[in-house]
Amino acid sequence: MLAVYNNLPGPRRWYPAVNALAAAAASGLTADDLGLRRDRLPSGLRLGAAAAAPVVAAFTLAALTPATRPLLNDQRVARLGRRQLACQVLLRIPLGTVAWEETAFRGVLLAALRRVLAEPAASAVASATFGLWHIRPTAEALTVNQLAPTRRARITAVAATVTGTAAVGALLSCLRDRSGSLAAPVLLHLAANCTAPLASALARHSPELSSPPFRVRLPPRLPAPGHVPVIV
């Protein structure tokens, strides 16, 4: 239901899915089931920070390296002003994307599936659903950035992204299980989703891209000895 809901045409509304998750949480899932135990928070923060650090470093290096800057080009970010970008990074992504998706997929859905499925089936289904959840966002990103112009290329790109996102979902589930806290996947998810637009903006506004190439000015050529320049 989650995957289908996010891929329906028209503007997305969060409250029906929120109500469904609230009902699932009210069915008896405990804080331990959801990865929300307070005593596990320090472990989640440590593991999440360790996993997030290489992601932040990779995006930063890509933004500072001329050869890799074109890979960060995203027209969705290019259309944003500074205030809009700050709103995305500080509010919409942390609350509307990361907190929501981690609560839904690594919290309620994973815990609910483990009531009816053994591992690793429960994690596999939750991760696959997480991948399918991103079909529409991927298609929209391809359109905005004018990528994959043919139908075949578009289907291939979406399928590859969904598969990769499902694999990321499996990694996030492993972080949640290893730490016992939802904080671990939240930090990694935040690092990827917030650093990416910042790196894209940094690459786009780097001095090397916004200023003309540096040229060495040679001194004027001096006349040969004994030669008198003629002024016409």
167 domain-assigned: yes
19 domain-assigned: no
66 domain-assigned: yes
12 domain-assigned: no
5 domain-assigned: no
Cα(179)–Cα(102) distance, integer angstroms: 14
226 domain-assigned: no
pLDDT of 113 reads 92
87 domain-assigned: yes
pLDDT of 215 reads 42
* DSSP letter assigned to residue 226: T
pLDDT tens digits, the chain, 232 residues: what are they?
555 555 555 555 555 456 656 666 677 888 888 899 999 999 999 999 999 999 999 999 999 999 999 999 999 999 999 999 999 999 999 988 898 899 889 998 999 899 999 989 999 999 999 999 999 999 999 999 988 889 999 999 999 999 999 999 999 999 999 999 999 999 999 999 999 999 999 998 765 544 444 344 445 544 444 544 444 3
Tell me if the pTM is above 0.95: no
Look up residue 216 and give its amino acid: V
Cα(106)–Cα(124) distance, integer angstroms: 11
230 domain-assigned: no
**The pair of three-digit structure tokens given for residue 22, joined into one six-digit string:** 């609230």
* 224 backbone dihedrals φ, ψ, rounded to 5°: -65, 150
pLDDT of 17 reads 53
Q: What is the DSSP string of 116-167?
A: HS-TTHHHHHHHHHHHHHTHHHHHHHHHHTT---SHHHHHHHHHHHHHHHHH
Structurally, the chain folds into a number of domains equal to 1
Cα(28)–Cα(49) distance, integer angstroms: 30
Domain boundaries, position 129: 39-206
